[in-house]
């Protein structure tokens, strides 16, 4: 399947999500392009982070959640009964709003999940994976001489890049980012944005952001959510320059949100 001639990685079909009696997502249909950056924008409470968490089934951890519809990744519905949600998360990296390194060394932060999931064994192969992951996250040169130092000893921007290295280390196909720069200073934000641009050569990236300027800068495609509905989805230039939906137009103009 293709969108604008490009391969589709993730497809959401008629996705609905309820928290108890409250409907948080309403009939979400979207095709996310492979090895591109897709930004999810919209005001607080509009459903964009809820949708992001549907892609790696993190909402399954909430007792009151019920979901209908499906999300297809590489031709397989990840909500099929024969799909293990833990296995889904192995293939989909997640980076959160607040940098959250484990209370372990820099090395162990990156190596922990690959060792646990038997992606790699201790020794030279693990060392190589840690190094390559840190290089991909643009952090290797800054930490190569202090791999046994606590991950929490790094600056905020470095901690977030460590979390990205940790996500990369399990060899995912998709990286989800939920407001990954909102807690960072402008210089660290610029570094993370440049990193995302380089990562899309190998990964499909979906980012939730409140920062419309950030979406405009880095996203290839942008989806505007409003009150649990997908208002508009298109190439980023179209969303910001000539949106077709009046609610999207008002949001881009800053009339609400």
Q: With 0-12 CB in 10 A as exposed, 13-18 as middle and 19+ as buried, what is 69?
A: middle
**How many whole angstroms separate alpha carbon 220 and alpha carbon 145?**
36
**How many whole angstroms separate alpha carbon 93 and alpha carbon 84?**
16
- Check if the beta carbon of residue 6 is closer than 8 Å to that of residue 38: no
**How many whole angstroms separate alpha carbon 158 and alpha carbon 97?**
14
Helix axes 156-169, 124-136, angle to 10 degrees: 130
Confidence (pLDDT) at 3:
67
**How many whole angstroms separate alpha carbon 106 and alpha carbon 159?**
9
Confidence (pLDDT) at 82:
94
Determine whether domain 1-91+176-257 maps to CATH 3.40.50.300: yes
Confidence (pLDDT) at 254:
86
Helix axes 106-116, 124-136, angle to 10 degrees: 120
CA torsion sign for 248, 250, 254, 257 is negative
Residue 35's SS3 state is coil
**How many whole angstroms separate alpha carbon 137 and alpha carbon 167?**
10
Confidence (pLDDT) at 6:
83
**How many whole angstroms separate alpha carbon 120 and alpha carbon 173?**
17
Residues of the chain with pLDDT under 50: none
Confidence (pLDDT) at 30:
98
Structural tokens at position 179: 């407001």
Closest Cα partner for 11 from 77, 61, 62, 68? 77
Confidence (pLDDT) at 255:
82
- Check if the beta carbon of residue 35 is closer than 8 Å to that of residue 203: yes
Residue 165's SS3 state is helix
What are the sequence ranges of the domains in the chain?
Answer: 1-91+176-257, 98-171
pTM of the predicted model as reported, rounded to 2 decimal places = 0.94
- Check if the beta carbon of residue 8 is closer than 8 Å to that of residue 1: yes
Structural tokens at position 216: 């405009």
pLDDT digits (tens, 9 = 90+) for 86-124: 888 888 999 999 999 999 999 999 999 999 989 999 999
């Amino acid at each position: 399947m293709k969108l604008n001639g490009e391969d589709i990685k993730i497809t959401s079909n008629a996705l609905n999500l309820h928290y108890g009696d409250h409907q948080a997502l309403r009939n979400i249909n979207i095709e996310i392009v492979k090895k591109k950056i897709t930004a999810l924008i919209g005001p607080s409470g509009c459903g964009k982070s809820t949708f992001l968490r549907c892609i790696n089934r993190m909402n399954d951890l909430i007792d009151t959640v019920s979901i209908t519809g499906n999300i297809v990744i590489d031709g397989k519905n990840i909500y099929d009964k024969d799909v293990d949600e833990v296995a889904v998360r192995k293939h989909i990296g997640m980076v959160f709003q607040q940098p959250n390194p484990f209370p372990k060394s820099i090395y162990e932060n990156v190596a922990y999940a690959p060792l646990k999931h038997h992606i790699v064994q201790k020794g030279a192969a693990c060392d190589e994976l840690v190094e390559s992951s840190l290089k991909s996250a643009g952090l290797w040169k800054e930490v190569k001489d202090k791999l046994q130092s606590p991950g929490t000893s790094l600056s905020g921007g470095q901690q977030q890049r460590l979390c990205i290295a940790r996500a990369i280390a399990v060899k995912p196909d998709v990286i989800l980012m939920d407001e990954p720069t909102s807690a960072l200073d402008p210089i660290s934000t610029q570094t993370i944005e440049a990193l995302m641009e380089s990562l899309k050569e190998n990964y499909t990236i979906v980012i939730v952001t409140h920062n419309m300027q950030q979406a405009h800068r880095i996203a290839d495609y942008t989806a505007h959510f409003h009150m649990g509905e997908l208002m508009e989805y298109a190439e980023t230039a179209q969303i910001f320059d000539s949106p077709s939906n009046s609610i999207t137009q008002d949001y881009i103009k800053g009339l609400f949100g």
